[in-house]
Amino acid sequence: MILRVAIPTPLHRLFDYRPPVSGTLKPQVGCRVSVPFGQREVIGIITELPEQSELPLDKLKPANAILDAAPVLDSLQFYLARWAASYYAYPEGDALSQALPALLRKGEPAEFAHETLWRATQGASLDALSKSATRQRELLALLLRNPQGVSTDLLRVESLPVPLLKTLKDKDLAEAFIHHPTPLHADEREEGDILKEAPLTLNAEQHTALQDIAAGSGFNTLLLEGITGSGKTEVYLQAIQQVLKEGKQALILVPEIGLTPQTLARFKARFQVPVVALHSGLTDRQRLDAWLMAREGTARILIGTRSAIFTPMRYPGLIIVDEEHDQSFKQQDGFRYSARDLAVLRAKHEAIPLVMGSATPSLESLQNAFSGRYRHNLLTTRAGKAMPPAFELLDIRGETLNCGLSDSLTQRIETHLAGGTQVLIFLNRRGFSPSLICHNCGAVNECTRCDARMTLHRSPPHMHCHHCDRQTPIPLRCNQCGSEDLRPSGAGTERTEDFLCHRFPKTPVLRIDRDSTARKDAMSQLMAQIHTGKPCIMIGTQMLAKGHHFPRVTLVAVLDADSGLFSADFRGMEKTAQLVLQVAGRAGRADHPGEVVMQTRHPDHPMLNALIREGYSTFAASELQMRKAAGLPPFSFHALIRAEATRQGWAEGFLRDIREMMEEQLAAPAGSHWSGPFPSPMEKRAGLYRAQLLIQSRQRSDLHQLLMRVLTFLTQHKARKKVRWSIDVDPLDSY
Ligand code: ADP
Ligand code: ZN
Ligand code: ZN
C-alpha cells in the first residue's frame, strides 16, 4: 500500500510515501500523517491509498507517523476542499490544510482542550520523605489534599517550584495525568425548549419566504432580497427553528464586519441551544474547540466568517449566507475561494437548503434567480412601523466645499440636530486628507513603494500609505523644489471631523474608521454612546455601512456619491449602488423616518437616478442588460493570472511568454479569449511591479480546461523563481 499525501506546498502535485515503519494507527483517507519533506518534517493529509506508485518502491521514503485514528476531514470537507483546489487552481495540499483549524495544521490532536494535572501516586505518603526535605513535603501534602489534581498554575500560586514535581515523580510519589473537561453536551431537553423567546408573527412576504426555504426537503437555493429592516433576520431565525426541531444544525456565514455582538446576541436571545461563533478574534484553541463541537453535533448554530464554510457539521440542516453580495466572502489572496459560491456546492452535496440574503444582491445571484436556478423572494416593506428613507441627489456643481461638505448639507445637518436626532456622514477616505501638495510646484507626496499618494494623518501626525502600510513623518519641505508651503488637499475623515467639531461645538462628533476603532473596546464604547440616543454626528467609512442599527439617525449624508461612477472596474457602479444603499439602510429605523442626501456633480446620471427613484431591483436589471450586451460576468467567466516581481517589466515579460505559449499550443474554444498582459491598475505596490493577463470564456467548463493547461505553462516556466504568480478565478476587483 502507498500513501498519497497532500502536503501544504506551493507545488501543484501530491506525494507518495510508504506506510510508517512502526505505529499502530491504520492509514485512512482524510487522516493526517507526518512525513519527511526535504530537510523538514511536515504534516500532510492522506488523499488516496493506491496499490502502486509511479515511482519504484525503494525510491519512496516511509512516512514518520499516522496522526489520527479517524479522519480529521470528513468526506464532505474533503470533497469541498479538493473541489475548491481544482476550481480555483490552487495547490491541493495548501487547500486541504486551510480547511483545518490552525492547531490541527500544527499536528495537535483533534481533541477538546485538556490540561496536564498532577496527583499523588496511590499509596504515596509523607513518610517516604525525609523530615529535612521541607519543600518536597509541602508539595506532596498539597497533592494529597487535592486528589482531583493540581495544575502547575496552582503551584506557582503556592510559590512551590514546578521542577520539584519531577523530583517526586522520580521517587514514584507523584504522577501526571490528562484532565478532559466535559465538552458541552447535545441538548437533551424537550423540543419545546429550543426557544428562549417567542418568534414574531411573520407578515405575508416573510411567511412565503419561510415556506419557500422548505427546510427538510433537500437542496434548493433561495435568494432573499429585502431592504434593510424588512425582516430577513427574522426569516432566518424561524427557518433555523424548523431545522433545530429536526435535531439538525445551521451554519450562518456573515461578512467580517457584520459579525457584530448585536447579530450574535439576537441568535442567543432567541434560542437556548449552543451557539458557536467562529471569527478572527478567537484563539487557536477556542477555534479548535468550536470546530470540534460543530463536528460532533453539540454546537447547533454556527455563525462565522468566510472560512467557516469548511466547518464540519454532523447533522447538517441549513446554510445561510447573510449579505451575500459582500466582497469579504471572496478571499483576496492565496487561496482565492468564494465562501458564498462554495456554500452552493456544499448545500447541494449535503442535500440541504441554502438561503442567500441581501438588500442589494450581487448581479451574479440575481442572474441566477432570473434564470430560475435560485428561487427568489422579495421583502418589500419594512417590518413594524418604520418607513423607508427618502433619497435626494444634492447638486454640488459650483458650490464651495468645506472639508467635503457643501453649505446646504451643513444647514441640513443643523436642522436634524436641532430636532434632537442623530446624523451619519459617510466618507470613503480615512485620515486627515488624501494628499499633501506643494503649493509652489504642485508635486504630490507619493509613496516610494507604490503608485499611490501618501495620506496625511493628524492623530498621531504622520504620512501613511494605505496600500503598503508605509509610514513616514510629515515632510517639512517639498522633495521636488524645496518649498515649505505644503498644503493638505481633499477631505478625509479626520479633517471633516475637525470641521464639524468647530461648526457644531455643542454636539459630540464621533469618528468611526479603522484608525479610531483600532483600540480594543473602542468600537463598543462608540456604539454605547450612539445608543444613548442623544444627538450626535457620526462620521465614518465603510465600517459604518454594515451590521449596525442606528434607530435615532434621521439624516444620512454621502459626501462623494460620484467616486464609483466612472471607475475602470466594470463592477464600480454595482459596488457604489450597494454601498450607498447599505449606508442608507442604517437610517430611519423604528419610528423616525430618514432622509438620505447624496452630494454629486452628476445629478442627471441615469444609473444614480434609476437607483434612487426606482430602487435597487430596477437599477440591477438595467445593469445586467449592459453586462449582457458587453459579454461581461455573469454572462461570461473570468480568470486573472496575476504576476509580480521586483523589477519593472519582469512580470509583464513573464506573462507575455505565457501568452505566447497559449497562442502556440492551445486552440481557444469558441467564446473564449485572452487579453493582456497589462500592467495592473496600480502597477507598483509595496515595492513590486505587477501585471495581469485576463482569460475569458462563455462557458465555465471551457475556462477551466484552459486554466488547467495554463497552469502547466506557469509551473514549468523557467522565470518562475523571479516572478511570483497567482491565479484568480472569478476575480472581484483590480482588473
Ligand atoms: P433585516 O435583517 O432585513 O435588516 P430584521 O429581521 O433585523 O431585518 O428586522 C428589522 C426589525 O423589524 C427588527 O427589529 C425586527 O425585530 C422587526 N421585525 C422583523 N419581522 C417582524 C414582524 N414580522 N413583525 C414585527 N416586527 C418585525
Ligand atoms: Zn514643490
Ligand atoms: Zn505604499
β-sheet bridge partners, residue 487:
437
SS3 178: strand
Band of the pLDDT at 659, cuts 50, 70, 90?
very high
**Does pLDDT of 317 surpass 50?**
yes
Amino acid at 376: H
DSSP one-letter code for 464: E
Residue 233 beta carbon below 6 angstroms from any ligand 1 atom: yes
Which residues lie below 8 Å from residue 551, measured CB to CB, with a gap of 6+? 533, 589, 590, 592
Q: Helices H, strands E: what count in the chain?
A: 20, 29
Q: Once rounded to an integer, what is the mean pLDDT over residues 306-331?
A: 94
Atom of ligand 1 nearest to the CA of 236: 6
Q: Residue 283 has what pLDDT?
A: 81
CA 285 – ligand 1 centroid, Å: 35
SS3 92: helix
Phi then psi for residue 356, to 5 deg, are -110, 125
> Which residue out of 233, 263, 324 has the highest number of ligand 1 atoms within 8 Å of its CB and is therefore the one to mutate?
233
Q: Once rounded to an integer, what is the mean pLDDT over residues 583-608?
A: 82
Q: Residue 186 has what pLDDT?
A: 45
Instruction: Please state, in angstroms and rounded to a whole number, the distance separating the CA atoms of residues 629 and 647.
Output: 39
β-sheet bridge partners, residue 250:
301, 318
Which residues lie below 8 Å from residue 34, measured CB to CB, with a gap of 6+? 41, 42, 43, 44, 63, 64, 65, 67, 107
Cα four-point dihedral sign 600, 603, 609, 613: positive
Decide if 358 contacts 325 (C-beta within 8 A). Answer: yes
Residue 520, CA distances (Å) to 5, 283, 464, 515 in order? 42, 15, 21, 11
Q: Which alpha helices (H) appear in 585-643, and where do they start and end?
A: 606-609, 615-630
Q: In what order do the strands lie in the sheet with 553-558?
A: 390-395, 595-600, 553-558, 422-426, 537-540, 509-512
Residue 203 beta carbon below 6 angstroms from any ligand 1 atom: yes
pLDDT tens-digit profile of 34-47? 999 989 999 999 99
CA 429 – ligand 2 centroid, Å: 24
Residue 173 beta carbon below 6 angstroms from any ligand 1 atom: no
Decide if 242 contacts 191 (C-beta within 8 A). Answer: no
Residue 428 beta carbon below 6 angstroms from any ligand 1 atom: no
Cα four-point dihedral sign 526, 528, 531, 534: negative
Instruction: Please state, in angstroms and rounded to a whole number, the distance separating the CA atoms of residues 521 and 676.
Output: 47
**Does pLDDT of 704 surpass 60?**
yes
Band of the pLDDT at 320, cuts 50, 70, 90?
very high
What angle do the packed helices 572-584 and 615-630 form, to 10 degrees? 170
pLDDT tens-digit profile of 413-441? 999 999 998 999 998 787 778 888 998 88
88-97, 283-292, 461-470, 563-572, range with the lowest pLDDT: 563-572
pLDDT tens-digit profile of 488-499? 888 888 888 989
Rg of the chain (C-alpha set):
30
> Which residue out of 234, 260, 355, 379 has the highest number of ligand 1 atoms within 8 Å of its CB and is therefore the one to mutate?
234
Cα four-point dihedral sign 92, 340, 353, 194: positive
β-sheet bridge partners, residue 46:
5
Phi then psi for residue 156, to 5 deg, are -65, -40
Band of the pLDDT at 261, cuts 50, 70, 90?
low
CA 440 – ligand 2 centroid, Å: 5
Q: Which of the pair, 272 or 4, is modelled with greater confidence? A: 4
Amino acid at 319: I
Instruction: Please state, in angstroms and rounded to a whole number, the distance separating the CA atoms of residues 607 and 574.
Output: 10
Decide if 528 contacts 569 (C-beta within 8 A). Answer: no
β-sheet bridge partners, residue 695:
639, 674
**Residue percentage of the chain with pLDDT more than 70:** 95
Residue 27 beta carbon below 6 angstroms from any ligand 1 atom: no
Cell (9 digits) for 224: 432573499
Instruction: Please state, in angstroms and rounded to a whole number, the distance separating the CA atoms of residues 120 and 138.
Output: 12
Instruction: Please state, in angstroms and rounded to a whole number, the distance separating the CA atoms of residues 134 and 127.
Output: 12
Q: Which of the pair, 192 or 63, is modelled with greater confidence? A: 63
Band of the pLDDT at 192, cuts 50, 70, 90?
low
pLDDT tens-digit profile of 385-395? 667 788 999 99
Extract the runs of DSSP E, i.e. beta strands, from 666-713: 672-685, 688-697
Residue 232 beta carbon below 6 angstroms from any ligand 1 atom: yes
Decide if 436 contacts 487 (C-beta within 8 A). Answer: yes
Residue 181 beta carbon below 6 angstroms from any ligand 1 atom: no
Q: Which ligand is nearest to the CA of 486?
A: 2
Torsion of CA 378, 379, 380, 383, to 10 degrees: 180
